[in-house]
Structures are given as structure tokens and as C-alpha cells.
Amino acid sequence: MPIAVRPEQELALHEKQFYVNDGLLPAHAIGALEPTTLDTPLEEMQRRYRENGYLFVKGVVPREDILKVRQKYFEKLAPTGCLAPGTKPVEGVFDMSQNRLSFPGVGAGPVDTDENGDVAGADPKIAKLFNDLALEAHHEDWYKEDLCRHPAIQDLVAKLTGWGDNTLSIRRTLLRNNMPHNTAIGVHYDQIFLRHGEDTFVTAWVPIGDISIEGGGLIYLEKGHDIGEQTERDFMTRARAAGMTEQETKDAYNANMLAGGLLDVGPARYAEKYNRRWLLTAYEAGDVVFHNPYAVGFREMLRLGEGSLC
Ligand SMILES: O=C(O)CCC(=O)C(=O)O
Ligand SMILES: [Fe+2]
């Protein structure tokens, strides 16, 4: 059955400090993401997905399948020196003696590049290697086949949407990392990036490992999908009024948007503007958040702590 979020859990959240790109989230802008268990009746899952714009399901994928991906990923990145000496790749512990600028996140916002288009950082060679390996990882079978086409994810989407055997997994996916203190992906909804297609897809956000509640996981704006949908409609109206071509309108990097197609780089400011809360949670390996194309999401910023990557 669904696990209800108890008010005291939300109050306990207010005693913690959560950092985002534009500073601390104020207590009144913090709520809890509501978890759903796998034995929840399908109609209830569908209701939650429809009304909340997301469905956060616990334990969808076997834990060992996720940890295998985590291990492979960090084995691949290890030659960059990102892992703390004496730790195992599957732990993904960042070497805090390294300069974080050498380890830029994939698509987490504008990155500085030099005249050759290489990622600039404290050590450009390491930054380039890190970026190249992180991109290369998208083409590995342990990622694009074993994880992205995982039957447990596919089956749940097939049931949730009623698409059944017609469920198609789109070859558009991002394998992101979040280094301690680095800028996280800004406020966005996914239709921004997939405007060339219909707005009927489902995104599965899959944490590759456990993430503590302050650990830099994804956070969602409460019922943000209505804001996302309205924003998209306004955007289309403005694009038409400005005489944009079809191609320009579909492009997430166009004149009406922030760099990278983001709605805002500052979630605290965004929550204030719309008077909505950001919903946070801890994640365990195997959990999946399914969300609709207009759900407004953002990454919490990973601050000090154990420096575990996610
Ligand atoms: O940083 C993340 O994992 C979230 C990325 C995301 O929301 C996206 O790629 O659309
Ligand atoms: Fe997203």
C-alpha cells in the first residue's frame, strides 16, 4: 500500500539544511516526496502519477543490478583519479583532495571551454578525460542495454500507462554525475529537451546507488507539472508571435530560454516565485521516479559530507 508522508517527517525535514544552486532552501519551501510501494494497486499508482506528475516507486530494480552499473561506471571513470585512494569503485567516494573543477558534470549547465572546445578546469587534461569517459559510458552495454532496457522499468511503465506491448524505450537518456560542490542541473521539465516529439512520454529517473537526503538527489516542485505545461504553452505563443521557425521553436537552446534550455538556475528563487515547495527524499539503489514531461525537477547540490558521488 502507499506509504503516506507523515507531518512529523516533514517537520523533521525542516530541521535540516538543503543547499541548491542559489543557496539554502528556506524551511517553508521544503516538503517530502511521497513514496509508493510496488504492491500498491495499479489504479492508485495511476491516480498519483496523474495528480502529482510523478510516481516515486521503492525497490523497482533489484539492488544488485543497480550496484553493478555503479561499479562499472566508476571503474570507467577511475583513471581520472576521481576516487578516494583505498576505496572501492562501487562506493563512488570522491577524492576530496582533488580540484572539483577537473570533474565537470554532464550537461549540468554551461561549462567553460577553451579555444579548442575542451572543457576548462583546474586540470584541462583530466577534465577532458573525465568528460569523454562520462559521455562514452552512455554507449556501454551495462548502461544502454542492461539498465536502460531493464524489464522491471519497462514493465512498470507498460502497466502505468496502459501501453502494454506497445511500450517503446526512446534512445534518449542521460547518465549524470554530481560532484561535491559542483553546480547541479538547473530547474527544467523534460519536454524542453524532447520538444521534437509528442508530450506523452514518461521519464524514469534512476539513482545509481543510495543517496542520503542531503546527498544531491533529484528534487521535484510540488505539482510543478501544471506550471511546466503552462510555461510550455506560453513559450509556444511567444515563439509564434516572435516569428520563430518551426526548427527554432523546437530547439531547447533558443532565444526565449536560459542557457541549456533551463527555466531558472536558482530553485530557491523559483519556489518563491510560484509559492510552491520542493519535494525531497533519500533514495535507495533500486528506486525509480517516473514523471511526466512537464514535471519540474532540479538537482539538490551535493555539499561536503562523505563526498560520495551520485
Ligand atoms: O541530474 C540528474 O540526474 C537529473 C537530470 C535530468 O533531470 C534530466 O536530464 O532531464
Ligand atoms: Fe529532467
Name all domains of the chain by residue range, CATH numbers in brackets: 7-299 (2.60.120)
Burial class (CB in 10 A: 0-12, 13-18, 19+), 66: buried
> Three-class SS of residue 26?
coil
Cell for 172? 534518449
Q: Which ligand is nearest to the CA of 291?
A: 2
Is any atom of ligand 1 closer than 6 Å to the C-beta of 299?
Answer: yes
Instruction: Considering every ligand atom shown, identify the ligand nearest to the alpha carbon of residue 309 and give its number.
Output: 1
Q: How far is the CA of 275 from the centre of ligand 2 (A)?
A: 21
Find the 221 Cα to ligand 2 centroid distance in Å.
12
> Containing H/E element for 126?
helix 124-136
- Ligand with the closest atom to the CA of 301: 1
Residue-wise pLDDT tens digits, 149-176: 999 999 999 999 999 999 988 877 888 8
C-beta 185 within 6 A of ligand 1: yes
Best probe residue, ligand 1, of 21, 106, 138, 174 (max atoms within 8 Å of C-beta): 174
Residue 294 and residue 232 in contact, taking contact as beta carbons nearer than 8 Å: yes
Position 215 scores a pLDDT of 84
Give 199 Cα–ligand 2 centroid separation in angstroms. Answer: 14
Give the pLDDT of residue 1: 45
Ligand 1 in contact with 35 (CB < 6 A)?
A: no
262 ligand 1 Cβ < 6 A: no
**Which atom of ligand 1 is found nearest the CA of 185?**
1
- pLDDT less than 50: residues of the chain: 1-2, 110, 303-310
Q: How many angstroms separate the CA atoms of 192 and 235, rounded?
A: 10
Could you tell me which residues come within 8 angstroms of residue 144 by beta carbon, excluding any fewer than 6 positions away? 138, 171, 173
